[in-house]
Structure formats: structure tokens, C-alpha cells
């Protein structure tokens, strides 16, 4: 991670959605604090994973970075250029370098357009004419994402879910982006197809040096795909670190609880990590708890947690770049043991 010259530099990023109500004149009666003061960087060619449960603000973050939403506060810098409130015209060149892959491969492709038209769309909009013509480029892209270039004239309904997601990937690649925001790119797919798409994205990241902001709720997939991972809870980053540190030495109680809740496909009688069952539900982002937002579900919460929001800092015992927002971070002793595959003698 290089803080000196990151590709994307986000500081204090905030998005509050106003809630209108009242009679007879609607006025603002509150705000959903979807994202509240995020700081993170993405280096070139790096993949940053954003994990968290529904409503934690991870998708909003993705939409803020791509400027599909207007931030309420904070700043977003892309290659040193402030794009927080840039207008359409200023954004145009940046937009071609930041692309997005959406979750639902059924809703994100226009059913009336052929695959060729869908994938060449970004080139048309930006008036890009690659050598050899757009059609040739589209055929190349289809080949890159593992589809048959002959399918240029087919419509989305002729493809399966996994193939459609590949079309979405090809469209995102059309402008040779430097950064791709992938919002739950595989969660709508079957397990065996998920792995195909994850491998494809990983090849692209390696071969084309594209940086990713990889948004997902599946901790195992994020670990597999991202070199650095940020855990979000109720609009805030509670912990951020490279994956070895985050998964090997989670310091925030929420990170730990989240990991302990992931069921693993092993038949061991003793679970690999202590199971922490969180009580209750995530509080409403309309009226988040004071101080630390996790305190209402945290087994360690004290008076201090209610009054003082813990800063996201390198708490003692953390490696460089491992930041945790907690007054009482967890200790290091329980590192999940590497589980090797079962001995093959047990087979048959």
C-alpha cells in the first residue's frame, strides 16, 4: 500500500440521505447516515475489499466513488484530482477510467440491445474509435472474458447468469479502466459459476493491472480476491488491514463476530474459531448509537464506548497499515489454525 501517491484517495467521505416528512409541508425530518466519514486509499493495481452486512453503507460507498451519488461531505481524489463535486464535463475523462460491475446480471443489461451494442456503448458515448473498429474491439473483449466472439449479435436473454456477468465485465473493460468498482459481482450466481467469475476477475487484475474496489458480504470471497480489506459497520470503517493481518489477527470485536459467524464447509467437531453470537439487529442508520456504533451489540461495551467514538488508528499490537476503531481491541492469541485438507486415506 503506498500512501504517497494512491490511485484513489478518500477522506472523510460522508453521505446522508435526507428523510422528508411532516404535514402539510414536507420538510427534512432526519437523515439516513448511510456513510459517515470514511478514509481509505486504493493503490494502482490493488484490490481493496469492502465487507459488511446489509445497510452498512458499502454499496453507497461504491456509488460515491463512481460519482453516481453526490457526496454530502469529505473528498474523493482520483490521481490527485479532486472529483468530489466535479460536474459532468470535468468527470467525463475520469469516468472512462473508473468503471463499475453490478450485482444483478439480469437487471444491468438492456434486454433490447445486442451484446455487441451493450459492450460498445461506453466507446460510443466517449467517442472512442479503436484501431480496427469498435466491432473488432468488442470481439476481443468477448474473448478476454471467455465468451464466444461469434455471439456478438445475440441478446442478453440468450445467456446464462454467469455468462451475463461476463458481458458486464466486458462492458466495464471496454474503456481500459484503471479502477473497477465491483458491487457484489458474484453473489447472484451459483457456487460453481461464482468461482469462474472470481477467477476471471483475478486474471484481469493480474494481467491488466486494474485496481478494484470489491464490495461483497461474503468474507471468504473477499479474502480470496482482495489484498486489503475494510470492514464496515453502520456507515463507518471499523477495521482496515491487509488480508493476512485482518483475517489472521482481527482486532475489532465486530470483525471477529463476523468471521465467527461464517459457516465453513468442514466436518470438524471442534469449530476452527470460537463462535460469537451477536444479539439483536443492526440499529437504524437514521439514529445511530452515540459513540461507537457497534456498542449496542458489543459484549465489551462500557460507558466510554457510549460517549466517545473510537478513532480508526493503529492500535498497539497492530502491524503497519492495520487500523482498528475500538477502545478495547481484541487480543492476538486466537489465530485460526491452518486447516489442511483431510487425509485422502479417509476417501472411499
Contacting residues toward another protein, per CB under 8 A: 53-54, 160, 162-163, 190-196, 198-199, 202, 217, 219-221, 223-224, 243, 247, 257-267, 272, 275, 277-278, 280-281, 336-342, 344, 346-348
- DSSP letter at 4? S
Q: Which residues pair with 30 in a beta bridge?
A: 19
In angstroms, what is the minimal distance from the CB of 78 to another protein?
A: 28
d(CA 286, CA 294): 15
Q: Which is nearer to another protein, 68 or 220 (CB)?
A: 220
Which CB atom, from 102 or from 233, has the smaller least distance to another protein?
233
Buried b (16+ CB within 10 A) or exposed e, 191-206: eebbebbbebbeebbe
- Number of other CB atoms surrounding residue 214 within 10 Å: 27
Nearer to another protein, 24 or 263 (CB): 263
Coil, helix or strand at residue 14: strand
CB of 86 to another protein, least distance (A): 34
Nearer residue to another protein within complex by CB, 124 or 190: 190
User: CB 170 → another protein: shortest distance, Å?
Assistant: 17
107: CB partners within 8 A, 6+ apart: none
Shortest Cβ distance from residue 82 to another protein (Å)?
35
Taking the least distance from each CB to another protein, the nearer of 11 and 196 is 196
- How near is the Cβ of 83 to another protein at its closest, in Å? 32
User: Do 256 and 276 form a contact (C-beta atoms < 8 A)?
Assistant: yes
Comparing CB distances to another protein, the nearer of 92 and 286 is 286
Residue 109: partners with Cβ closer than 8 Å, 6 or more residues away: 118, 156, 164, 167, 168
Which residues lie closer than 8 Å to 209 by C-beta, 6 or more apart?
A: 44, 45
Q: How far is the CB of 4 from another protein (least distance, A)?
A: 26
Amino acid at each position: 500500500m503506498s500512501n504517497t501517491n494512491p490511485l484513489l484517495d478518500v477522506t472523510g467521505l460522508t453521505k446522508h440521505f435526507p428523510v422528508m416528512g411532516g404535514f402539510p409541508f414536507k420538510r427534512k425530518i432526519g437523515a439516513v447516515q448511510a456513510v459517515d466519514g470514511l478514509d481509505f486509499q486504493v493503490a494502482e493495481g490493488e484490490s481493496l475489499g469492502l465487507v459488511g452486512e446489509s445497510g452498512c453503507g458499502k454499496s453507497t460507498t461504491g456509488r460515491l466513488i463512481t460519482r453516481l451519488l453526490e457526496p454530502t461531505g469529505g473528498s474523493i481524489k482520483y490521481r490527485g484530482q479532486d472529483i468530489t463535486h466535479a460536474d459532468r464535463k470535468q468527470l467525463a475523462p475520469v469516468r472512462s477510467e473508473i468503471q463499475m460491475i453490478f450485482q444483478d446480471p439480469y437487471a444491468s443489461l438492456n434486454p433490447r440491445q445486442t451484446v455487441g451494442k451493450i459492450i460498445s456503448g461506453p466507446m460510443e458515448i466517449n467517442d472512442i474509435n479503436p484501431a480496427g473498429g469498435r466491432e473488432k474491439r468488442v470481439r476481443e473483449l468477448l474473448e478476454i472474458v471467455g465468451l464466444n466472439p461469434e455471439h456478438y449479435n445475440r441478446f442478453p436473454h440468450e445467456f446464462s447468469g454467469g455468462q451475463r456477468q461476463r458481458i458486464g465485465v466486458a462492458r466495464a473493460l471496454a474503456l481500459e479502466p484503471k479502477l473497477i468498482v465491483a458491487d457484489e459481482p458474484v453473489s447472484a450466481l451459483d457456487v460453481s459459476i461464482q468461482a469462474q467469475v472470481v477467477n476471471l476477475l483475478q486474471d484481469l487484475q493480474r494481467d491488466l493491472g486494474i485496481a478494484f474496489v470489491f464490495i461483497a458480504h461474503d468474507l471468504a470471497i473477499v479474502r480470496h480476491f482482495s489484498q486489503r480489506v475494510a470492514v464496515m459497520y453502520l456507515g463507518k470503517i471499523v477495521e482496515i488491514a491487509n488480508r493476512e493481518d485482518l483475517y489472521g489477527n482481527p482486532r475489532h470485536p465486530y470483525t471477529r463476530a463476523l468471521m465467527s459467524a461464517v459457516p465453513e464447509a468442514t466436518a470438524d467437531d471442534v469449530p476452527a474459531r470460537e463462535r460469537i453470537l451477536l444479539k439483536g439487529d443492526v440499529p437504524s442508520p437514521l439514529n445511530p448509537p452515540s459513540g461507537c456504533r457497534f456498542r449496542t451489540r458489543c459484549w465489551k461495551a462500557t460507558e466510554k464506548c457510549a460517549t466517545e467514538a473510537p478513532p480508526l488508528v493503529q492500535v498497539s499490537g497492530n502491524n503497519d497499515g492495520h487500523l482498528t476503531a475500538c477502545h478495547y481491541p481484541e487480543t492476538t492469541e486466537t489465530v485460526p489454525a491452518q486447516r489442511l485438507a483431510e487425509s485422502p486415506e479417509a476417501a472411499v
